[in-house]
Amino acid sequence: MTGITSQDIERCAALIRPHIRRTPVVAIDGTEFGLTANALTLKLELLQHAGAFKTRGAFANLLTREVPAAGVVAASGGNHGAATAYAAMKLGKPARIYVPSVSSPAKVQRIRDYGADLVIEGDRYADALAASEIWARQSGAMPVPAFDQRETIMGQATLGLELEQQTPDIDTVLVAVGGGGLIAGIAAWFAGRIKVVGVEPAAAPTLTRALAAGHPVDSEAGGIAADSLAPRRVGDHVYPIAEKYVRSTVLVSDDAIASAQETLWRTLRIVAEPGGAAAFSALLSGAYKPEAGERIAVVISGGNTAAVDFGHAR
């Protein structure tokens, strides 16, 4: 499925526009971080409703598909669940969200705050997904897939549209990869006009393994960002788009991701969760080495973390 057109994405953007934030960008220079003097643009999607880009895909699903009386059900490492719960709350629909035990307390609390029925199931995303599928069959609730759904991908693609409007002269965009909905959406929007690079934890190299095999395959699913970047494999709808339009992938260590979190806070006072800082860690760690003059955008995709505790600073 590579047939998501720019017109499809523009229509989706117009539909969800009243319900989402147009998140800001900040322009900085690589020298601020001890890097080469490349122009960097950070897309601050951690400022989105529910704290991550997932809200775009959640609203795309709930506004374009017929939601039954039983409401919606979603499985999530945390962010997609929070986004689906938020969208359901705003649109007056019941929601049941399944998350694994690795989900961060900040994400679990978000889901509860939005009034969804929360179920913690198993140790990994795949466990929560299996339980959610059983509930969907039993209840008739509409599943809202975290990444492997056309509407989900189109919703995430609206981030790419926004980014181009805000920063039309970029050469490259670095995007963290879990199941691949975000990178597939962004890649579908740019359609080869710029370089799209996937950044994955070395502990969860789902897209890297898929591209090497020529199709989605199971991979390891662990690491510091396991609550957002560790499904067992990329989506079947995601893969053809990534194969066609994603230029390359790079792998980053847990230490590199943690260092990126600390650097974003220390230098810019940006509080990113591990998955949200992963793309930036590719630059800081040297996993991605820009060419001279290359203009790079980095998606800071989520901020659902309790890393900063203001209770100790009063």
The greatest distance separating any two alpha carbons of the chain, rounded to the nearest whole angstrom, comes to: 56
| Residue 270 near residue 301, CB atoms below 8 Å | no
Per-residue confidence at 222, pLDDT binned at 50, 70, 90? confident
Predicted confidence at residue 31, as pLDDT, reads 93
With 0.85 as the threshold, say if the pTM is over it: yes
From the number of C-beta atoms within 10 Å of its C-beta (0-12, 13-18, 19+), residue 245 rates as buried
| CA–CA dist 113, 207 (Å, integer) | 33
Rounded CA gap, 25 and 249, in Å?
Answer: 23
Lowest mean pLDDT among 146-155, 227-236, 272-281, 305-314: 305-314
Question: For residue range 76-88, what is the model confidence (pLDDT) as tens digits?
Answer: 888 999 999 999 9
pLDDT tens per residue, range 255-274: 999 999 999 999 999 999 99
Whether the per-residue pLDDT at 125 is higher than 90: the answer is no
Decide if pLDDT at 314 tops 60: no
Short-list 187, 198, 190, CA closest to 168: 190
Q: Cα–Cα distance between 189 and 217 in angstroms, integer?
A: 25
Least confident among 27-31, 196-200, 221-225, 264-268: 221-225
pLDDT at 221: 74
Over residues 237-242, the mean pLDDT reads 95
pLDDT given at position 281: 97
Q: Check the CA dihedral 12-193-166-58 and report its sign.
A: positive
